[in-house]
Amino acid sequence: MNLDLTGTHILSISQFEREHIDLIFNVADRMEPYAQRKRVTRVLEGAILGNMFFEPSTRTRVSFGCAFNLLGGEVRETTGVQNSALAKGESLYDTARVLSGYSDIIAMRHPVAGSVAEFASASRVPVINGGDGANEHPSQALLDLYTIKKELAAKHRAVDGLRIAMIGDLKYGRTVHSLSRLLTLFSDVKVILISPKELQLPEELVEDMRLAGHDVIISDQLEDGIGHVDIAYSTRIQEERFASQEEADLYRGKFRLNQAIYTKYCEPNTVIMHPLPRDSRSTANELDNDLNLNPNLAIFRQADNGIVVRMALFALILDVVDHIDLYSRPVGWYVNRRSN
Ligand code: CP
């Protein structure tokens, strides 16, 4: 097996073997002093990330940019189709040919499934899929699993043997699509898929997890499903993927998790995750603010982990892992970031 990720596109979790995941996570661990601002490195000084987000994003776009900056590189961005020449009819092919001449690596999000792969096929530099429609979000799945691994390790547990509930819009939620694929690389996983019947996880993803030997249960009842899991992974109704707002509104607020439900139905140490953004409007409120002080709410630790995982991807793809510490020094400014 070729473990070398130098120069590769990251388009789908399907391209990885378990050894790749171990490698990425080991490099991510080494990024902690830089992410925590204990040291700085200039290993990517002179390199440019093209951060091309043709669909709304807060944390994926900014954390890709921060991760590249933390390695010493610079970031150039475009946000939204309307602010790019795609709005004038330019093709993905031409856009990729041009932008890959300006950058050493590109992170891209686009509303159409398969579009990032199409862009990558024309790109002269590696491309990382930051989310293509309802298809995949591989870097999110990696940071999700990295979070699961760390949260379980604190309880002396491993990912093998994991019990996880995935909750919400499993049909259009690309983060659960990528995470489901990722879980097939592990063993003895119990997966409870909680969604409205119309928003169930695509059948081929369910089948792949069953072929991997996992116990997969499909349910439309939140309270029954979250009773005996290590991780309750909530997701937002992906209203931007529905044909109409009225259709999306049918499902909004169906699976609300709050402290009272957590206390009544979950085991005391169940970790609550969400790829974010959580929809905090009163009609949705899928993860209530009254969970904010629950120490098992891992959503902000999860978002923080996006930095080290994305730093690891950049370092591996641009082949600088062995040089990071050579170009590093302690920071000279005041650091006091409270842990959550
Ligand atoms: N999790 C995630 O993809 O968040 P953004 O849409 O803010 O990038």
Residue 6 falls inside a structural domain? no
DSSP string, 139-173: HHHHHHHHHHHHHHHTTT--STT-EEEEES-TTT-
Domain hosting residue 255, numbered range: 138-300
* Single-letter amino acid code for the residue at 155: K
In ligand 1, the atom with minimum distance to the C-alpha of 63 is 8
How many domains, the chain?
A: 2
Task: Please check whether residue 4 lies inside any domain of the structure.
Answer: no
Q: Across the strands, what pairs with 105? A: 49
Ligand 1 centroid from CA 330, angstroms: 31
Residue minimizing CA distance to atom 6 of ligand 1:
57
- 140 in ligand 1 pocket by Cβ < 6 Å? yes
Query: What is the C-alpha R_g of the chain?
Result: 20
- Give the pLDDT of the chain (340 residues) as one tens digit per residue: 889 999 999 999 999 999 999 999 999 999 999 999 999 999 999 999 999 999 999 999 999 999 999 999 999 999 999 999 999 999 999 999 999 999 999 999 999 999 999 999 999 999 999 999 999 999 999 999 999 999 999 999 999 999 999 999 999 999 999 999 999 999 999 999 999 999 999 999 999 999 999 999 999 999 999 999 999 999 999 999 999 999 999 999 999 999 999 999 999 999 999 999 999 999 888 999 999 999 999 999 999 999 999 999 999 999 999 999 999 999 988 877 665 5
CATH number at residue 19: 3.40.50.1370
| Contact between 127 and 9 (Cβ < 8 Å) | yes
Residue 130 alpha carbon, nearest atom of ligand 1: 3
* 335 within domain boundaries: no
**How close is the Cα of 112 to the center of ligand 1, in Å?**
16
Question: Are 149 and 118 contained in the same domain?
Answer: no
Q: What is the distance in A from the centroid of ligand 1 to the CA of 281?
A: 17
> Are the beta carbons of 254 and 221 closer than 8 angstroms?
no
In a domain, 151, yes or no: yes
Using alpha carbons, list the distances in angstroms from residue 53 to 46, 67, 241, 305, 310: 22, 16, 17, 20, 16
Model confidence, pTM: 0.96
Mapping DSSP to helix (H, G, I), strand (E, B) and coil, where does residue 34 land? helix
